[in-house]
Amino acid sequence: MEEKEVFAMPRIGDKAPEFKAVTTQGEINFPADYKGSWVILFSHPADFTPVCTSEFMTFASMEKQFNDANCKLVGLSVDGLYSHIAWLRTIKEKIEYKGMKNVEVTFPLIEDITMNVAKKYGMMMPGESSTKAVRAVFFIDPQGIIRTIIYYPLSLGRNFDELYRVLIALQAADEFKVATPADWRPGDDVIVPTAGSCGVAKERMESKDDSVKCHDWFFCTKKLDKEKVLNAIIKKK
């Protein structure tokens, strides 16, 4: 049977592995250069491929929305710098897709021909491909801690509204010390207290806070105003 190389994968709660890399926007020292910001580090399988092209156009078109939520974007594939530059130029000059055109990708795209970074971050999954990174997404907080990891296979383009929802939910959980239920979006009720702190069930059931509703001892929700969430997270124009 063919032996498959196994790579270590960072986990949620770990410090983001450090690396220096060459990108389309110059050299970066990761995650040190991003201290104080959220950062989404994401990989794509290959330049000049259709699903990746649709993803880059979508992500680049939403970049300001992510930046306004104090989040920077950093891409990576195991292609070289000149391939990255040529691909991004072609996207800007030639590709029109779903109303997006002249799309300029201004966030850094890492060249990783040695696969050093891709291996460090568990982006190589030999069962899927031994030569291309899968579509990995790492959400890293302003202290350099990995807070969420999402993986997609080669054939499946990501949902960037969901990536934005995850970013806002992570920040809302930190800011308001709550958890966010299924499909949560700003304005929806949140969960109190956060997961893993069930020891105070009785006090919570008897809470005098009118905005808290306990359906049973293990399931209490609370109103959290949409404006309050957005004012806390989104940079004022």
- Site membership for ligand BEZ, residue 49 (CB under 6 A): yes
Strand partners, 179: 191
Catalytic annotation present for 52: yes
Residues that contact ligand BEZ, how many (by CB under 6 A):
9
Q: Quote helix, strand, coil % in the chain, to nearest 5.
A: 30, 25, 45
Q: Which is nearer to ligand BEZ, 24 or 67 (CB)?
A: 24
Q: In the bound complex, what is the minimum distance in angstroms from residue 109's beta carbon to ligand BEZ?
A: 14
Q: How far apart are alpha carbons 165 and 186 in whole angstroms?
A: 9
Q: Which segments within the chain are labelled E, that is strand?
A: 19-23, 26-30, 38-43, 71-77, 109-111, 135-140, 146-152, 190-192, 212-216, 219-222
Binding span for ligand BEZ by CB under 6 A among 41-49, 61-69, 99-107, 197-205:
41-49
HSE (side-chain half, CA atoms, 13 Å) at 132: 15
- Structure-token match 């956060």, residue found: 194
Joined tokens for residue 144: 């350099």
Q: In the bound complex, what is the minimum distance in angstroms from residue 55's beta carbon to ligand BEZ?
A: 7
Q: Which is nearer to ligand BEZ, 50 or 126 (CB)?
A: 50
- Site membership for ligand BEZ, residue 50 (CB under 6 A): yes
| Cα-Cα end-to-end distance for the chain | 58
Which residues within the stretch 115-154 sit at the binding site for ligand BEZ (CB under 6 A)?
132, 154
Binding span for ligand BEZ by CB under 6 A among 1-9, 33-41, 48-56, 100-108:
48-56
Q: Which of 9, 21, 51, 150 binds ligand BEZ (CB under 6 A)?
A: 51
Q: In the bound complex, what is the minimum distance in angstroms from residue 153's beta carbon to ligand BEZ?
A: 9
Q: How far apart are alpha carbons 59 and 53 in whole angstroms?
A: 10
- Site membership for ligand BEZ, residue 46 (CB under 6 A): yes
Binding span for ligand BEZ by CB under 6 A among 21-29, 44-52, 60-68, 162-170:
44-52
Q: Which is nearer to ligand BEZ, 49 or 70 (CB)?
A: 49
Cis peptide before 153 (omega within 30 of 0): no
Binding span for ligand BEZ by CB under 6 A among 24-32, 50-58, 118-126, 191-199:
50-58
Query: Helix H segments across 40-195?
Result: 50-61, 63-68, 81-94, 116-120, 160-176
* Listed residue (176, 76, 62, 80) closest to 121, CA to CA: 76
Residues annotated catalytic, as ranges: 52
Binding site for ligand BEZ (CB under 6 A): 45-46, 49-52, 132, 154-155
